[in-house]
Chain A
Amino acid sequence: MTGLSRSRARRRPPVRPAWQERPHPLTSGAKAVAVVVVLVLVFVPFLVVVSTSLADPADVVANGGWVLWPEHPSFAAYAEILSGGVVGRATLVSVGVTLVGTACSLGATVLLAYALSRPGVFGGKPVMLLVLFTFLFPPGMIPAYLVVKQLGLLDSYGALIAPVLVNTFNLVVMRGFFQSLPSELYEAARLDGASEWSMLWRITIPLSRAVLAVIGLFYAVSYWNSWFNAMIYIDTPTKWPLQLVLRTYVLAGGQLADPSSGEAGLMSAPQTVQMAVVVLATIPIVLVYPFLQRYFVKGVLSGAIKS
């Protein structure tokens, strides 16, 4: 044991520069404690929710509503919510809106960012100013609602996608990235007679995979997580996405009782089932997270710093 750790210590490269003094053991200890506390604060809530969703309902009741570790684990709660009904349908709605919305958003953003990234494009400067102005003065909730209503999008899935189609920040980041690509490539392609369309497909997109991945995932996460637009635009509960169902039945049915709504259904569902819904709504995020994480620091920061 000691031999192993010593050899590992020897292999570790010298990470501390020569000018830096060795930290006081007390400082190192305090740092280690701080790191552990931070990790516990991040992970324990997730652990409690996952454990509770997997536990035996009787154990959960006996412990007062939660468990730290499921002693008799079962997937009964998941079987119940996925066997159809409100949660099953809401999951399908969320998946559909997220897939279609992300594709539309990414398409519109790439096309606009590409056009605005080409030097000297007709109308490029005024369009860019109009886009940037929306940062300073976002439209109010009421006029936005009336626009959606005027377009006849109320109670349709379009109302969950169209009003958030292009995110200004994502657009600016993507344009910044496209502008950083070497212009010689475009010149060469132009001499070979390539059209703008084929330049976008053959040069820009293959060279921008990282930033496209990050921004696509940003869009996907925001579609998956959104519930407010569904709440104000969608009247039919069968068209609700998962997050709105979660809000209505788990939050409003738990401590944050909302007497005006008076919904039944999952309200009386056991804690295990409620926590299973929470886990279901979190899983896609946790699954895409490693991919997102690999890219976002280099992809997003390079664009953000420039703009």
Chain B
Amino acid sequence: MSVQTRPGTAEARPPAPPGSPAAPGAIRAARRESRSRRWRRDRILLAFMVPGLLYFAIFHYGALFGSVLAFLDYVPFLGLTGSRWIGLENFQRLFGDGDFWHAALNTVEISLLQLVFYFPAPLALALLLHSLTRTRIKRFVQSAVYLPHFISWVIVVALFQQMLGASGVLNGFLADNGLHTVHILGNPDAFKPMLVAQVIWKDTGWGTIIFLAALAQVDEQMYEAAAIDGAGPWRRFWHVTLPALRPVIVLLLVLRLGEILSVGFEQILLQRDAVGARAAEIIDTFVYFRGIQGGDFGFAAAAGLFKGLVGVVLVYAANKISHRLGESGVYR
């Protein structure tokens, strides 16, 4: 640990207070001394940190500490300290709860559907956008497809109702042409594909950004060299474009795997009542209805904690896998 690592700051600093240089050999004392000097030197910066640090301390670490209530028979009146410690009882109850496993199954099912049908969509759209040669058209299409990302889920669901609902545009069009109307919204069987369609509409465009950035970094000369060697468009795609995108794809897959138990909480909560819990309950909505609505705080916190721990394990595993594949993953 160096004493003055910040460049260009040593000479202009106020001189150290008297008595600070320690006797030779007293390394530990010197280090303590330098720490207090750095503390004094940086006190304004430390003051800058205060609002942000308070936020993280209270709303992240305070809440993390509050997760102990998963091990309590939590009674709001008694609080965290007054409630009885019951060990793993909440978890036992959780793992014996058929509704929880059903919610977990729904969650994983929706995640997998998104992985298969949503995940490739931004890649495909990015390739299409990248292949547009006229800059102005490309810019315009890009701006257009990014927009839905910034629209709230409440509005997205309202838009989908207006388009696909019983009295929506699609059914109006079908009825006008003497065709059968379709029952999409409010139909439990169509619910999961519907969710994926909404995610595709909202986030495909935004998802292209990272792929477009990767595509823009490919050296043009690689394409040129491949073309001179006689590679057609398909071979250039296979041997130049795809290898360039590989790290990004692996990175996004790792992140997605860690998030496998989180699928669009707001999106699903908004539409759950229309199709019922059987089709629409996911872990997050289960936590919400049992905890905040039902008041079974310890039990719901246990479900949330379980989800969080599984997420950490999955990120760790996915990261290991990406290292095996020779990619850097999220962290080393």
A binds B: yes
Interface residues in chain A, defined as those with a beta carbon under 8 Å from any beta carbon in chain B: 12, 15-17, 19-21, 31, 34-35, 38-39, 41-46, 48-49, 52, 63-66, 68, 107-109, 111-112, 114-116, 118-123, 127, 130-131, 134, 136-147, 151, 162-163, 165-166, 171, 183, 186-187, 190-191, 193, 195-197, 200, 221, 224-228, 232, 243, 246-247, 250-252, 254-258, 274-275, 278, 281-282, 285-286, 289-290, 292-293, 297, 301, 304-305
Q: Does B60 lie within 8 Å of A15, measured CB to CB?
A: no
Q: How far is the CB of B297 from chain A (nearest CB, A)?
A: 6
Q: Does B45 lie within 8 Å of A118, measured CB to CB?
A: yes
Measured between beta carbons, the chain A residues less than 8 angstroms from B159 are: 45-46, 49, 278
Measured between beta carbons, the chain A residues less than 8 angstroms from B326 are: none
The CA of A109 and the CA of B52, in the complex, are separated in Å by 7
Q: Does A48 lie within 8 Å of B135, measured CB to CB?
A: no
Q: Does A42 lie within 8 Å of B60, measured CB to CB?
A: no
Q: Does B63 lie within 8 Å of A42, measured CB to CB?
A: no
Q: How far is the CB of B287 from chain A (nearest CB, A)?
A: 5
Given contacts A115-B46, A142-B66, 5 further A-B contacts (CB under 8 A): A38-B128, A46-B159, A122-B41, A151-B58, A221-B150
Q: Does A122 lie within 8 Å of B39, measured CB to CB?
A: yes
Q: Does A108 lie within 8 Å of B55, measured CB to CB?
A: yes
Q: Does B269 lie within 8 Å of A228, measured CB to CB?
A: yes
Q: Sorted from nearest, which 7 A-B pairs have the closest CB atoms?
A: A187-B8, A112-B52, A140-B304, A120-B5, A139-B63, A143-B66, A225-B152
Q: Does A48 lie within 8 Å of B274, measured CB to CB?
A: no
Measured between beta carbons, the chain A residues less than 8 angstroms from B273 are: 252, 256-258
**Which of B21-29, B110-118, B221-229 makes up part of the contact surface?**
B221-229
Residues from 172 to 196 in B contacting A, C-beta threshold 8 Å: 172, 175, 185-186
Task: Label chain B's interface by main secondary structure.
Answer: helix
Q: Does A43 lie within 8 Å of B144, measured CB to CB?
A: yes
Q: Does B227 lie within 8 Å of A19, measured CB to CB?
A: yes
Measured between beta carbons, the chain A residues less than 8 angstroms from B137 are: 35
Q: Does A147 lie within 8 Å of B312, measured CB to CB?
A: no
The CA of A42 and the CA of B49, in the complex, are separated in Å by 42
- The answer to whether B78 has its CB under 8 Å from any CB of chain A is no
Q: Does B63 lie within 8 Å of A183, measured CB to CB?
A: no
The CA of A165 and the CA of B300, in the complex, are separated in Å by 25
Q: How far is the CB of A40 from chain B (nearest CB, A)?
A: 10
Total A-B Cβ pairs within 8 A: 292
Measured between beta carbons, the chain A residues less than 8 angstroms from B144 are: 38-39, 42-43
The CA of A41 and the CA of B185, in the complex, are separated in Å by 18
Q: How far is the CB of A162 from chain B (nearest CB, A)?
A: 7
Q: How far is the CB of A167 from chain B (nearest CB, A)?
A: 10
Q: Does B128 lie within 8 Å of A34, measured CB to CB?
A: yes
Residues from 187 to 226 in B contacting A, C-beta threshold 8 Å: 201, 205, 209-210, 213, 220, 223-224
- Of A31, A139, A195, the contact of B128 (CB 8 Å cutoff): A31
- Of B59, B155, B171, the contact of A147 (CB 8 Å cutoff): B59
- The answer to whether B77 has its CB under 8 Å from any CB of chain A is no
Measured between beta carbons, the chain A residues less than 8 angstroms from B104 are: none
- The answer to whether B86 has its CB under 8 Å from any CB of chain A is no
Contact A228/B266 with A42-B144, A112-B51, A256-B274 known, Cβ cut-off 8 Å: yes
**Can you pick out 29 interface pairs between chain A and chain B where the beta carbons lie within 8 Å of each other?**
A35-B132, A42-B201, A44-B169, A45-B160, A49-B159, A66-B167, A115-B48, A123-B42, A127-B53, A141-B284, A141-B287, A142-B292, A147-B62, A147-B66, A165-B51, A165-B59, A191-B8, A225-B154, A226-B152, A228-B269, A232-B292, A243-B152, A246-B158, A251-B158, A255-B185, A256-B161, A275-B162, A289-B147, A297-B209
Q: Does B169 lie within 8 Å of A66, measured CB to CB?
A: yes
Q: Does A166 lie within 8 Å of B141, measured CB to CB?
A: no
Measured between beta carbons, the chain A residues less than 8 angstroms from B133 are: 15-16
- The answer to whether B260 has its CB under 8 Å from any CB of chain A is no
- The answer to whether B61 has its CB under 8 Å from any CB of chain A is yes
Q: Does B69 lie within 8 Å of A142, measured CB to CB?
A: yes
Q: Interface digits, B296-322 against A, CB 8 Å rule (1 contact, 0 not)?
A: 010011001101100110010000000
